[in-house]
Structure 1
Amino acid sequence: MPAIHFYDAITAGKHAAEGQLVRYHSIFVSDDVAPEILMSAIKLRDDVYVDPKEAAKGELALLDLMLGETELEWARTGFKHFMTKDCLHVGFGNSTRLDPYIRYGMYRNLLPYPCIGLPEGSHFLDVETLLRAVALLRPDDFPWPESVRTLPMTAMHHFLMWEAEVNGTNRAILVKETLEKLAAASPKLIEHAIRTSSIEAIKTCLGLDGGEVSDLRSVKPCLMVHPLIPHPRGAILALPLAVDITYPDIVYVADLESDLSSLSDPNVESLQALVRVNPTDLHKPLIRVSLSRAPFCAAIGVVRPKDASRLAVDIRTVLANIEYLRAADHLAARLRDEPILELAAQPADVDHRMWAGDFNQADLLRMQRLHEQPIDQWPSIIASGIEGRFRELGGRLLGRTKPELLSVSEREVLTRHFQNKAAGNFQTPDRLAHLRKQGQDIAIESPNALGLVQLNERLARILG
C-alpha cells in the first residue's frame, strides 16, 4: 500500500451533525517521504452545545477550546487526507465514534467527501474492531494481559491511550503502535484484515456478484466482526441475503446461529419486523451491516473447532442453516423486490441531512469554486446554488466565517440559530437560567480546568 494514514481525534457535542472535532492528530507514513505528523487544535464553534456536566467528566475539561484553527481550515486539511488515493486509513474507534464527526464536518463546510463517495483504492481499518477480532478468534495471541482483553472497549481504549491523555502525545502515533503490536502478535489475521479493508474487497469476501446478491447459492458464509453488529459478542456467522437498493454499501445478512423459520416463511407480512436492532433481539435473524464501517470479514473456516467450542457456536446448526437458506429460492426474489430499509425520521435542520442524497454535479462544482475563490466571492456562489441544502449550508458557513458579508436580517437569523444550538435547542427562560447556573457552578468548583471556565465564559458571551 503506497501510504498509511493513522489518525485520532477528540470530539465535542452529543451528535456528529451538531458537534465537531476539537483535536485532530494524524501521521502519514509512506515509503518515499518522511512521515508527516500533525497535531491540530480546532476552535469550538458557537453553535455547538456542550453539556458542562458531561464536559467535566472527560478531556474537554482541561483543553483550551478557544485555541487553534477554524473548523473550515481543519476540514480542508481533512478533505485532503481522506481523499488520498491508494491509502490505508487507520483509527481507534474511527468507524463508530470518529468518522461520523469527520464526515459531518466536511459536509457542513461544503467539502464533498461524503457526497461523492470514497476515492478509488480507499482502505479503512478500525483498531477497535481488530482488537475484538483477535480477542475473539486468537485470544492466545492477544498482546496484552488477559485482564486487558476482557475490559469493555472504552476501558481498553483508555488503557492503550493513557499516555496521550496524560502527556499530550500525538494520539495517532499510539494508534500506529497499537496496530504494530497486534500485527506482530497475530500477523496472519492482521494481514487478512488489511487485504479486506476496502468495500470492494469485503464484497468479494462475501461472494457478491458485481456488488449484488444474484442468488443465495453463490454468496459465501462469513464471520463478520464489528462493535456495532447487534450480537452480544459483536460478531456473527453470516450469509449475505440482499444489498440495499438505495445504499449499495449496506448489506443484509442472516445470523446463521438464529432460528430462520420466520425468515423463510412466505406468510410473514414484513421483513422489516425481522431486522435486529438490539443485541438482545436474537430471535430476529436479519442484520443490517454497513460495509463503509469496514467490518472484519473472513471465511467461516477462520473459526477453528476449538474456537467454536469456546464461543459456544454450534457449527452443525450453522452448516444446516446455510443449506436451508440456499434452498429457499423464493427468499432471494422477495429480498430483491421488497424494500427492507426503513430509515428513522431525520430532523429537518439542514445540518442533519447529509444522507438526503448526493448533491448534483453543478453544486459539486460550486463547492470546488467556493474553496478556490476569495471569500468576498462566496455570497454570489452560494446564492446561485441549485439545491436548498447547498444554499442553506453556505449561508451558515459564511455566517461563521465572515458574517459581515451577510445582510443585517440574515445575521440576526443566524445569531438566533447559533444561540438556540449553543443552549441545546431549548430556548425557554428556565432552561437558559439553569444552563447558565450550571456552567457558573462548575467553573467555580474547577477554576483550574481551563475548558470548563471557557465553556462558562462562552455561554455568557453567546447567550448574554
Structure 2
Amino acid sequence: TCVTGFNNIRFDDEFIRYGFYRNLIDPYGREWRDGNSRWDLIDLVRASGALRPDGLEWPLRDGTPVFSLEQMARANNLQHENAHDALADVEATVALARVIKSCQPELYTYALSLRQKTTLGTLLLPVGERICVHVSGIYPNSGYCLTPIVSVARHPIIDNRVIAVDLAGDIDFICESSVQEIRNAVFMPAAQRGRAVTRPPLVTVAFNQCPFVAPISVVRKADADRLHIDLERIQRAQETLANCPDLAERVASVYAEGEHDPPNDPEYALYDGFINDADRRTSERLQDALRNGNAWMNEEFMDPRLATLSQRLKARVRPEEMDADERRAHVEFVRQRLADGDNGLDAFLRELQIWQRKDSLEARDREVVEALIGHAEKLRTQFVTNASIE
C-alpha cells in the first residue's frame, strides 16, 4: 500500500506520527512494513507545472502560479464541491493524480520512483557530481517552486539527508564566509532577517520525504527560457563551488549543532532519536493489554521519553487505575499546560470569544465554538478551580 495525499508528508503524516508516538504506537511502521510506502502529490503538481505543463490548466494569482488543491481542481474542472472536507479533498487529489498520469505518464512514473531512497542516491551522491533540479515549496511560486541545485555535503547528524546549494543563489557568500557567519545567516529567524537580507542558498534534501529531484537534463531550452534559468550561469556556479576550499567540511559544520534547540517536553521529542527494540516490544505488550481490556501494565522503559508518555497515556485511558502520586503529577502537568501564556487556556478562550462575536458565523459553526468554550470552562473547573489530587 502506498499512502499519498496533497502535502501529506509535511502535514498529515506529522500528525499521524506524533499521534502514534504519544500513544506508544510505532510511529513509522505503517510507512514501510509489509512493503508499504508513502508519497505526496504536491511536488509532482509543481514539477508538472514547471517542466511538463501540457494537458493541465495552471491557475494564476496576480501572475504567479497557485498550487492549492482547490485552485487546481477548479481550473481543471475537477469535482471539488467542498474544499477542505476530508472526503472531497481525497476525491480531488485522486482526480488530479489521474489527469497528470494521463497527460504526462513518464513524469508521473518518475515521480513515483522517488519513493525509493536509492533513486535519490544516484542523483545526489557522491556530493558535487551532478547538477539537478529540486522542486519544493521553499522556493518561490513565481518559478514554479523549482531551482537548480548541487549536493555539497552529507548531513552530519541525519543519515538520510544531504545539504545542497541553490545554484541560482549567492554562491560567493557560501565560498567566502566563515562557518559561524553562514550558520548565523541560515538559522536566523525570518522575522529578524527581514526583506533586505536574503537567506543563504543552502537547503537540506531528505531522502525519506519523496523530494522531487531530477537531472538538469529534464530542463529543455523552452523550459529554461520560461523559468528564467540561465544554464550557462548554473554550470559556472557548479564549477565555482567545486573549487571552493573545504566546502563539504564547512557546510557540514554549519549543521553539526542541530537546526533547533531540543524540546523540553517528551511529547515534542519524536525526532530526538529512534525508539530501541526493547522499548518497542514493551510498548506492544502494553497496547495488547489495553486492547484486551486487561489492567494497566506498569512497564519499565529505558527511554525516558516513553516513561513520561506512558504515564500521560494512563491518565487518558485508565485514570481510575492511577494511584495518588500519579494523579498528583498529572494534575500538576495539566495545570502548567493550561497556564501557558501563549498556548494556554486564557489564550484559547480569547480566540474562541473573538469567533463567537462574529455576526457572519453560521449556526453550526457557532454551536462548535460554544461547545469548545464550555469544554475550556470545564477544564478550568476540573484542573484549576476545584482540582483534586486525592
Give the TM-score band, short-chain normalised. 0.7 to 0.9
**Cα deviation per residue 1:260-289 (whole Å; 9 max; x = unaligned)?**
223233766544245387697656222223
Moved more, 243-252 or 274-283: 274-283
Aligned-partner Cα distance in 1 for 2:224–2:48: 14
The one of 369, 378, 387 aligned to 1:452: 369
The one of 279, 304, 314 aligned to 1:398: 314
| Structure 2 match to 1:153 | 68
| Structure 1 match to 2:280 | 364
Could you tell me which runs of 5 or more consecutive residues in structure 2 were left unpaired when the two chains were aligned. 382-390
What SS does the corresponding residue of 2:54 show, helix, strand or coil?
helix
| Structure 1 match to 2:159 | 248
User: How much does 1:199 deviate?
Assistant: 2.8
Aligned-partner Cα distance in 2 for 1:198–1:446: 46
User: How much does 1:135 deviate?
Assistant: 1.1
**Cα deviation per residue 1:341-392 (whole Å; 9 max; x = unaligned)?**
53222441221111111222221111121122245443412xx112221111
User: How much does 1:246 deviate?
Assistant: 1.5
Following superposition of structure 1 onto structure 2, how do residues 6-405 of structure 1 map, counting pairs within 5 Å?
88-114=2-28, 118-119=32-33, 123-141=37-55, 143-144=56-57, 146-147=59-60, 150-151=65-66, 153=68, 156=71, 159=74, 162-165=80-83, 169=87, 171-206=89-124, 208-209=125-126, 213=127, 216=128, 219-229=129-139, 233=143, 234-265=145-176, 269-273=180-184, 275=186, 282=198, 284-328=200-244, 330-335=246-251, 339-340=255-256, 342-374=258-290, 376-381=294-299, 384-405=300-321
Aligned-partner Cα distance in 2 for 1:228–1:110: 32
Aligned-partner Cα distance in 2 for 1:158–1:417: 45
What SS does the corresponding residue of 2:138 show, helix, strand or coil?
coil
| Structure 2 match to 1:35 | none
User: How much does 1:321 deviate?
Assistant: 1.5
What SS does the corresponding residue of 1:253 show, helix, strand or coil?
strand
Moved more, 454-463 or 110-119: 110-119
**Cα deviation per residue 1:127-182 (whole Å; 9 max; x = unaligned)?**
111111111112233x2354589335375378467335488746434322221111
Q: Summarize the Cα distance change of 1:232–1:409 in structure 2 as closer, same or farther, 3 Å threshold.
A: farther
Aligned-partner Cα distance in 2 for 1:320–1:271: 22
Could you tell me the TM-score, scaled by structure 2's length? 0.80
Aligned-partner Cα distance in 1 for 2:343–2:227: 51
Aligned-partner Cα distance in 1 for 2:249–2:185: 17
The answer (yes or no) to whether the contact 1:124–1:198 under 8 Å persists in 2 is: no
Aligned-partner Cα distance in 2 for 1:358–1:168: 31
User: How much does 1:403 deviate?
Assistant: 0.9
Aligned-partner Cα distance in 2 for 1:335–1:435: 43
The answer (yes or no) to whether the contact 1:91–1:127 under 8 Å persists in 2 is: yes
Q: Which amino acid aligns with 2:13?
A: D
What SS does the corresponding residue of 2:165 show, helix, strand or coil?
strand
Query: Which one scores higher on RCO, CA 8 angstroms, separation ≥ 6?
Result: 1
As a proportion of its length, which structure holds more helix?
2
What is the total number of aligned residue pairs between the two structures? 367
Q: Which amino acid aligns with 2:118?
A: E
Q: Which amino acid aligns with 2:162?
A: V
Q: Summarize the Cα distance change of 1:101–1:443 in structure 2 as closer, same or farther, 3 Å threshold.
A: farther
Aligned-partner Cα distance in 2 for 1:354–1:189: 34
| Structure 2 match to 1:463 | 380
The answer (yes or no) to whether the contact 2:80–2:89 under 8 Å persists in 1 is: no
**Cα deviation per residue 1:191-218 (whole Å; 9 max; x = unaligned)?**
1101222333222222x15xxx4xx3xx
What SS does the corresponding residue of 1:242 show, helix, strand or coil?
strand
Moved more, 116-125 or 253-262: 116-125
Q: Which amino acid aligns with 1:371?
A: Q
The answer (yes or no) to whether the contact 1:225–1:296 under 8 Å persists in 2 is: yes
Moved more, 345-354 or 183-192: 345-354
**Cα deviation per residue 1:70-125 (whole Å; 9 max; x = unaligned)?**
xxxxxxxxxxxxxxxxxx32111112221211111111111222499855855432
Q: Summarize the Cα distance change of 1:200–1:371 in structure 2 as closer, same or farther, 3 Å threshold.
A: farther
The answer (yes or no) to whether the contact 1:242–1:332 under 8 Å persists in 2 is: yes
Q: Which amino acid aligns with 1:200?
A: T
Q: Summarize the Cα distance change of 1:267–1:448 in structure 2 as closer, same or farther, 3 Å threshold.
A: closer
What SS does the corresponding residue of 2:9 show, helix, strand or coil?
helix
User: How much does 1:188 deviate?
Assistant: 1.5
| Aligned alpha-carbon RMSD (Å) | 3.6
Aligned-partner Cα distance in 2 for 1:286–1:167: 36
Q: Summarize the Cα distance change of 1:171–1:453 in structure 2 as closer, same or farther, 3 Å threshold.
A: same
Could you tell me which runs of 5 or more consecutive residues in structure 1 were left unpaired when the two chains were aligned. 4-87
The answer (yes or no) to whether the contact 2:161–2:204 under 8 Å persists in 1 is: yes
User: How much does 1:236 deviate?
Assistant: 1.7
Aligned-partner Cα distance in 2 for 1:182–1:164: 22
Kindly, what percent of the aligned residue pairs are identical? Answer: 22
